[in-house]
């Protein structure tokens, strides 16, 4: 570290690029700065701006720098170094190498096709595109409109003059002009290639105008077959391309960029506006974002994206907060023409930028939802629970317990079993709590734990990896004491309180800090809710059975036949109580007077009243 401190004192006050190396001498971060000394030293002064930066700095063992004449040159060099070394702490454009490009080869009579590999061979590449279906559709239109060759033959002058390559089926289908036989000159072919390039760049109206002029010229020369082919090509373009409303009447080419940021991910949406129309929407994901701001991530995207695409429109709309001149110079150097970074504040242009940002927000929400669903797969939830509770082994088998009663009546308990994050209903158990006629969840929990695990030990059944108690510290301590008495002190047991979803562990006064969005907490809630549902269902059945037995059997004038008649109409006493007395009399054939006496008796003696008053 002394060596690093001495080296930091030597950092110059000039523009350039800095590189951080770790203990293995590997480059872990590359950055650029207008003043290297100020920027580099800021990493080692005070507290880190975010946890990720703190971790990175803890691994830095050496720093290098490269001086440049301008900050624009530093930005270009930073981008090249990031591509070369792919440092682990730099923001990355997710899967940028796998995005499809349209490639126009650098050879006589160029070919055009889709590729995911960019080679430095002089070929032109257009993209990257994120929607491969859009690219394939575009290529289909191009090949139907412009008869470019698709063969892989090397068409040099000697091969063409010798006519070594026979005409193929593509020529006879009018999908190729036959350059292999010299039936089209290289100049004419290249004019067609330039039209393809203009078409890819979004200048469809220009292409249609050129084709219309050629159609009219061919018709004047009475070359009607060729004129018909131009007509068909125009129709293909007009029918195949999606209709786009004009979003700007100035017909400028521009890119509109919206960005949405979360803790570890950012989503970028880019509208390609050509001739005043939105012709495509591309979406990109930025990874390893840490706690970087929206503005910082936008800069990272601009740097990464515009070094990959050969066509940069004259205007780029985005919400860049600073360094606009730097990025204008950077893009100008890339494009070979003046580029302007614009943040419109009103009118249609501002609404278009807002639309891009809203699209980015929507796409990011979809991505986070997809990740949440992925994280909530049973196996991953079990792994997350092991990490959250610091368990020695993953809790593949979990048993959850709950108590249910109404004013101490018909007290029951449930035990549900989850294996690898999924319910195993065949092992569910129900318990009727004995010798307890008043509400006491602690005593009830002690009894059910005692009975359940005593039987397991006696029958040598498989013990769970985790026991979940529905309740706070009181219920948890009651269960823990019983487990210890049974010699199961090694069995992990936790409590999940209902009100704040707090997780309690024996021996700790305060609840565990498990994030509310954690898959681990989601699994615990799911088990708790299932135990509660199972207990409530059993409790209601016992209550209804008790009502049928005690309430109806004790009512004068209600014998077995009338009781059977009532339950042939109503599935339960609770259902019967929903109707008016006259309706009950009409449906069951019992007199209104007897029905009135029966209803009054039920209301006096049924615990249902307590439930209706909310005393559950």
* DSSP-derived secondary structure for 55-79: HHHHH--EEEEEE-SSHHHHHHHHH
Q: Are residue 425 and residue 532 in the same domain, yes or no?
A: yes
Residue 358: which H helix or E strand, with range?
helix 347-375
Residue 408's pLDDT is what?
Answer: 52
Q: Are residue 396 and residue 517 in the same domain, yes or no?
A: yes
Residue 85 lies in a domain: no
What's the mean pLDDT in 359-373? 79
* CATH code of the domain covering residue 328: 3.30.420
Q: Are residue 412 and residue 502 in the same domain, yes or no?
A: yes
Residue 296: which H helix or E strand, with range?
helix 294-305
Q: Are residue 428 and residue 320 in the same domain, yes or no?
A: no
pLDDT > 50? residue 245: no
- State which residues form the domain around 70: 2-74
Please name the residue ranges forming H helices in 376-418: 378-389
Per-residue pLDDT reduced to its tens digit, 507-535? 887 888 788 778 888 889 889 999 989 98
Residue 616's pLDDT is what?
Answer: 31
Q: Are residue 356 and residue 429 in the same domain, yes or no?
A: no
* CATH code of the domain covering residue 594: 1.10.150
| Strand partners for 257 | 270
Q: Are residue 47 and residue 115 in the same domain, yes or no?
A: no
Residue 589 lies in a domain: yes
Report how many helices (DSSP H) and strands (DSSP E) the chain contains, helices first: 22, 19
Residue 245 lies in a domain: no
Residue 559's pLDDT is what?
Answer: 81
First to last CA, the chain: 65
pLDDT > 60? residue 155: yes
- What are the CA-CA distances from residue 539 to residues 404, 472, 532 (Å)? 7, 22, 10
Mean pLDDT of the chain: 82
Chain CA centroid to CA 433, Å: 46
Number of domains making up the chain? 5
Q: Are residue 48 and residue 13 in the same domain, yes or no?
A: yes
Per-residue pLDDT reduced to its tens digit, 310-328? 778 889 999 988 888 888 9
Q: Are residue 536 and residue 406 in the same domain, yes or no?
A: yes
Per-residue pLDDT reduced to its tens digit, 549-591? 556 777 778 887 887 788 778 867 777 888 888 888 888 888 8
User: Is pLDDT larger for residue 416 or for residue 207?
Assistant: 416
Residue 59 lies in a domain: yes
What's the mean pLDDT in 106-111? 89
Per the CB < 8 A criterion, the answer to whether 400 and 407 are in contact is no
pLDDT > 60? residue 252: yes
* pLDDT band for position 242 (cuts 50, 70, 90): low
Residue 215 lies in a domain: no
Q: How many Å apart are CA 297 and CA 320, to the nearest integer?
A: 10
User: Is pLDDT larger for residue 364 or for residue 162?
Assistant: 364
Residue 396 lies in a domain: yes
Residue 564 lies in a domain: yes
Q: Are residue 282 and residue 416 in the same domain, yes or no?
A: no
The model's pTM is 0.47
How do 254-261 and 315-317 pair as beta strands? parallel
* CATH code of the domain covering residue 424: 3.30.420.340
Residue 235 lies in a domain: no
| Strand partners for 51 | none
């Amino acid at each position: 570290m002394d060596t690093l401190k001495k080296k930091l004192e030597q950092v110059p006050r000039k523009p350039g690029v800095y590189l951080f190396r770790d203990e293995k001498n590997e480059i872990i971060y590359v950055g650029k700065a207008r003043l290297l000394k100020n920027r580099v030293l800021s990493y080692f002064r005070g507290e880190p701006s975010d946890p990720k930066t703190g971790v990175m700095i803890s691994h830095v063992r050496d720093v290098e720098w490269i001086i440049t004449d301008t900050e624009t040159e530093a930005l270009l060099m930073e981008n090249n170094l990031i591509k070369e070394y792919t440092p682990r702490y730099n923001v990355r454009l997710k899967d940028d190498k796998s995005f499809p490009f349209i490639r126009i080869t650098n050879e006589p009579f160029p070919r055009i096709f889709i590729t995911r590999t960019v080679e430095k061979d002089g070929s032109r590449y257009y993209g990257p595109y994120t929607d491969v279906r859009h690219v394939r559709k575009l290529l289909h239109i191009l090949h139907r409109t412009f008869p470019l060759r698709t063969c892989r033959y090397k068409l040099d002058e000697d091969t063409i003059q010798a006519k070594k390559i026979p005409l193929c089926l593509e020529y006879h289908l009018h999908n190729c002009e036959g350059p292999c036989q010299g039936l089209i000159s290289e100049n004419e072919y290249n004019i067609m290639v330039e039209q393809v390039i203009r078409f890819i760049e979004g200048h469809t109206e220009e292409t249609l105008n050129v084709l219309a002029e050629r159609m009219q010229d061919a018709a004047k020369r009475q070359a009607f077959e060729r004129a018909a082919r131009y007509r068909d090509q125009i129709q293909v373009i007009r029918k195949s391309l999606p209709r786009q409303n004009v979003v700007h009447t100035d017909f400028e080419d521009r890119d509109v960029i919206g960005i949405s940021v979360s803790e570890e991910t950012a989503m970028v949406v880019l509208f390609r506006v050509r001739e005043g129309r939105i012709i495509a929407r591309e979406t990109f994901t930025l990874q390893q974002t840490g706690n970087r701001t929206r503005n910082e991530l936008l800069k990272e995207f601009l740097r990464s994206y515009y070094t990959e695409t050969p066509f940069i429109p004259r205007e780029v709309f985005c919400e860049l907060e600073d360094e606009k001149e730097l990025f204008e110079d950077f893009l100008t150097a890339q494009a070979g023409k003046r580029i302007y970074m614009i943040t419109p504040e009103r009118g249609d242009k501002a609404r278009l930028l807002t639309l891009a940002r809203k699209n980015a927000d929507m796409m990011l929400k979809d991505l986070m939802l997809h990740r949440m669903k992925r994280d909530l797969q049973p196996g991953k939830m079990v792994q997350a629970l092991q990490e959250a509770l610091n368990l020695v082994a993953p809790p593949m088998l979990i048993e959850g317990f709950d108590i249910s009663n109404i004013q101490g009546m018909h007290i029951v308990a449930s035990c549900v079993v989850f294996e690898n994050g999924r319910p195993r209903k065949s092992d569910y158990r129900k318990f009727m709590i004995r010798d307890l006629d008043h509400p006491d969840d602690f005593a009830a929990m002690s009894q059910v734990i005692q009975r359940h695990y005593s039987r397991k030990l006696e029958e040598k059944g498989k013990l769970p990896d985790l026991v979940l108690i529905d309740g706070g510290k009181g219920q948890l301590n009651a269960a823990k004491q019983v487990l210890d008495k049974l010699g199961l002190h090694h069995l992990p047991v936790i409590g999940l309180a209902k009100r704040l979803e707090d997780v309690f562990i024996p021996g700790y006064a305060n609840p565990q800090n498990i994030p509310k969005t954690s898959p681990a907490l989601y699994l615990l809630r799911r088990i708790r809710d299932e135990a509660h549902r199972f207990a409530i269902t059993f409790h209601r059945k016992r209550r209804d059975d008790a009502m049928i037995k005690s309430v109806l059997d004790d009512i004068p004038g209600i014998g077995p036949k009338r009781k059977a008649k009532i339950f042939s109409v109503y599935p339960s006493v609770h259902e019967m109580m929903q109707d008016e007395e006259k309706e009950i009399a009409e449906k069951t054939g019992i007199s209104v007077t007897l029905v009135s006496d029966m209803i009054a008796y039920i209301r006096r003696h049924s615990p249902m009243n307590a439930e209706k008053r909310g005393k559950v």
